[in-house]
Structures are given as structure tokens and as C-alpha cells.
Amino acid sequence: MSKTVRFTFDGEPQTATGSVSVAAALTGAGHTRLRRTDGDSARGMFCGIGVCQDCLVTIDGRPNRRACMTLLEDGMTVETQAARAPLSGPAPPRLKAERLSPDVLIIGGGAAGLAAGIAARAEGAEVLLLDERKVAGGQYFKQPARADAPAMDPQQADGAALVARARESGVTIVAGAEVWGAFDGPEIMASTATHVYVLTPRALIVATGAYERPIMIPGWTLPGVMTVGAAQTLWRSYGVLPGKRVAIFGNGPLCAQVALELSKGGAEIAVLGETAAPGWTQPRAVAAMALSNRALAAKGAGMLAGLRRRGIAVTWRAKPLAIEQTGAGLTVAYQAGKRHRQVTVDAVCLNFGFQPQNEILRLLGTAMRFDARFGQLRPDRSAVMETSVPGVYAVGDCCGLGGAHAAMVEGRIAGRAAAGGSGPTDKESAELSGHRRFQDALWQVYAADEPPGIEHATPETLICRCEEVTCAKLDDALKAGGSDIGAIKRATRIGMGRCQGRYCAPVLAAYLAGKQGRPLEDLSFFAPQVPIKPVDIATVAATEALLETPPADG
């Protein structure tokens, strides 16, 4: 039986059922406005995975708690966070500090990281896996927060089995662990609600996945506007719909999958807008998908058939133009082919591709190359997934979009190699090649006319959601002589907010490259720096104290 949890939000009593995040509980109760910005705008949950830092609330007097990453507890006092939270508050928790030196350290508990851990354990290595979320499984397998909840579908059941295999194999999983520092060695700094860790593994496997790209249009920062993945997390992990009436816009199969899932959950899908042309305009690519992986191709076809059975038509060649808060909800103006339309909904979900979470790899100095097709930096890797830094391996979508099935094969290869085992088998090489062919064909089918850049953004469009930098302010800095991304950052504060440029940096780098007629490379982006994500002073102080203490065997 799911228990009822009682809490307050801005002084008003609230209830939620089961194990849910604070963001899910508030969304289910109809509260989407979670904090105020310096410009006095309201913000809510956007990414759902702790990247954007926009869902900050004050919990039990402690500010800057991410609602999407904090599980609700009975009796919590949750408050909308002011633009500048007061400096005084409860005393910081006493954090236990630990030095650990596992044979293999894995960062990320998704498909790639779990597969890597199982493979490394099979070779006899001691394996420690850090996962930022409370429940392992990653974004593809998205496990329910309630341990006894039944699997929603075979995909979720497969994820549960993978997590169970990892635990049974002896992988030590530390949940709720945020990595905020990475130094040569490698030496990794991480923290949980109760611990700080300094980790010096013999081998490191980075499996941090990716996060979603939005489209920067007027209104994309409004409460109720979120990524498609955030809406999926609300439903698959917590059983909460993002709204009763939902609009989904983006590029790729995730949009169709989530539309079908939300519809089955009881939501009305007012519009499902896809920027690509219909698949039948790319017959060769569709055939290549089927030849590369019949099971996945059949799953995709079944998904589209499921949408048709529920009366959900895909609007092809669709692009949102602006979102406005109205009395009836969120009104989206969008273009479908040559026609302009609008729709009013409770929630707007956006996904226009993915960006690899490669900050750790860049901090460690791994060689990167720019993939112009996907607009991503990808690390150079060997056949066993080792980067240019010896002993540092990278697997899964942090290396560029490749899909969960390819990520698991890469994880097995890297896990075995990191533990001192053999290289890829012929079967693994063939599997990986097939998955990559499938992905290549898939993105030919879903090829969009243009990437979600800011070349046509209106002057008032926010480019940096954290520091509220508009396109007009950005162009003024360019006219004043800003010639590189660092100069623009200093002139406008773009990229200086809590998400540390994760959303604005890729589009700004592409915008500058286009203006200056030069190719993109690693140096085109903001320089990576520690802390990788915001971290409180108590964590830094506890870590410094640990570093100043000689090791027990020293």
C-alpha cells in the first residue's frame, strides 16, 4: 500500500501518495511555480534530472534544494524560493568524510554504467558506482521510486533486472552521489547528503549520459514548460502527469514514446509536433533501420501504431515559435509546414536533441573532437573505450548520442578492460556495429531541416536562462567587440549561472562560429571548471579537511 505523505507548501497543507520527489508532489498538486529569479520571473521544474538547477526550493529552512532530486518526506516544510535566499538558516549537516581507492570507479548508474560494473566484477575487480539519482537505472530504464512498484512495461522490467544483476554481482552502488570535482590522477570529489568522498581509483569509467536540448523561443523558461524527459520521469518514476492537457514538440522518437506513455496514463495530447519530415520520405533509411535491428525497428513502428489507435496524429515539420502564459494555461504558437497554429495546454514538453554530459572528461583533459552532424563534442576512444588519458574510460551517451543498447555493449567492453581483462569479443564488435548502424539510419529518418540554434531568435528571447541574458544583450556584446566565448561571458554573465552554461554554451558556441565563419572545436566552448555543479561550503570544507589529513596507512 502506498502511504500518504503530508507536507506544507508556502504554509498550505498538501498531501502526496507514495515515494515521490518534491517536484512530482508539487506538480501533482498543481503547483508549478517554485522560485523567483533576479528579474522577478517565476520558474519551475525544467530538466527533471538536476542539470538546470531551476527547480530550487527552500525545505525546512534550508535553501537551494533541487525539488526534482529531493524525495519528499512526511512533515516537510517546502517554500517558494526567493531570488536571493537569506544567508542564515539551519546549521549545515555534519558530513562524514571518506577516502576510497576502488579498483574501478564508475560514475553514472544508467545502462552503460551498470553493464560496466557487472563486467568488471566478473573479472574480480572491486567496483564502486556513484549514481546521482536515488534509484539506479538511468534515463532509458527510468525505475520507479517505490521499490515495490510493478514494472510499467518490459523496458522498465529490463532495467530492474539490470540493477538487480549489478547488485548481485557485488557492485557497490552509492545513490544520491553528486560528483563535483575531477583532477589528474584521476582524483574524484563527490558528496551525498551525509558523506563527502575523495576517490582515487585504479581505473575510472565515466558513464554520465546526456541531457536534453531545448529550443530557445520566447516563453521557454515559463513554469509548466519542461523537457520531454522530465515529463517522462514524472510519469514513469512517480506516477504523476505533467498536466491534464499536454503539448509535445521536438525531434526524435522520444517525443512519440512519451506522448504514448502520457496518453495511456490519462493525459490528453493536444499536439505532437515533430520537426522532421514523415519517415516514408526516407525509404532507404527506414530499410537500413530494419536491416540493422529488426526488433528496435518493429518497436518504433508499434509505437507509431499505438499513437494512431489512440487518435494522436503526429504533426510533421512542426516547430514551436513562442509560449505565453494566459488565463487558460500555456498558449503555444507553432508552425506546421507553412501554416501557423496555436494551442493552449497545461504543460509544454520540449526535446530538440541531446548534449553529452562530458564535463568530467574535459576536466581530465581527454582529447575531444566536434561532431558537426549532432553538434556535440565526443571523446576520442580506443577499441576498449579508453580515452586519451590512460586509465580513464568513457561509455554511453556522454560520448555522443548512441542509444542504450550500444551503451550497454560499450559498458561491458570498458568494464572488462578497466578490470584488466580482454578486449571486445567478435560478437560484441558485431553488436556494437549493428547498433551504431541503426542509430545512423534512425537519425537520417529524423533529420531536421536545421538545428535548434538562435540565428532567428527574437531580441527578447532568453539565451541564458540562469542569468536572464537576452538575444539582444548578446548581440550588443558582439557589436561592442566581443570576439570569443570568454569575452562574451565576461560582458554579459552568460554561462555564469547555476547550470554553468550547460544550455547556453552549445548554442552560443555555434552562433559565434557561424558569425565568424570558423569551425567548432573544444576551445569554442566555455572552459570546464571545478565545481562541476554547485556545491555548498560545508561540503567543500569537509573535503578540504579530509585532504589535509594524512591517509590512515601514511
Beta bridge partners of 98: 197
Q: What is the pLDDT of residue 280?
A: 80
Q: Where are the alpha helices (DSSP H) in 394-464?
A: 404-418, 426-445
Say if pTM beats, i.e. exceeds, 0.85: yes
Residue 357 pLDDT more than 60? Answer: yes
H/E run at residue 476: helix 471-479
Query: How is residue 9 written as a grid cell?
Result: 507548501
Mean pLDDT in the chain? 94
Quote the DSSP letter at residue 422. -
CATH number of 4-80: 3.10.20.740
CATH number of 97-211+355-444: 3.50.50.60
Q: Determine the residue type at 400.
A: G
Q: Check: CB of residue 225 under 8 Å from CB of residue 325.
A: no
The answer to whether the 97-211+355-444 and 462-520 domains have the same CATH topology is no
Condensed to tens digits (0 to 9), the pLDDT of residues 381-435 reads 999 999 999 999 999 999 998 999 999 999 999 999 999 999 999 999 999 999 9
CA–CA distance, 431 with 448 (Å, rounded to integer): 27
Cα angle vertex 212, ends 206, 215, to 5°? 150
Domain boundaries of the chain, sorted by first residue: 4-80, 97-211+355-444, 214-352, 462-520
Q: What is the pLDDT of residue 389?
A: 98
CATH number of 462-520: 1.10.10.1100
Condensed to tens digits (0 to 9), the pLDDT of residues 175-186 reads 999 999 999 999
Q: Read off the pLDDT band of 263 (50, 70, 90).
A: very high
CA–CA distance, 66 with 533 (Å, rounded to integer): 12
Condensed to tens digits (0 to 9), the pLDDT of residues 506-524 reads 999 999 998 888 888 888 8
Return the half-sphere exposure (C-beta side, CA atoms, 13 A cut-off) of residue 115: 23
Candidates 472, 447, 467, 469; CA nearest to 457 is: 472
CA–CA distance, 107 with 10 (Å, rounded to integer): 36
**CATH 1.10.260.40 is the classification of domain 214-352:** no
Candidates 231, 312, 228; CA nearest to 270 is: 312
CA–CA distance, 296 with 426 (Å, rounded to integer): 22
Q: Check: CB of residue 183 under 8 Å from CB of residue 172.
A: no
CA–CA distance, 331 with 321 (Å, rounded to integer): 11
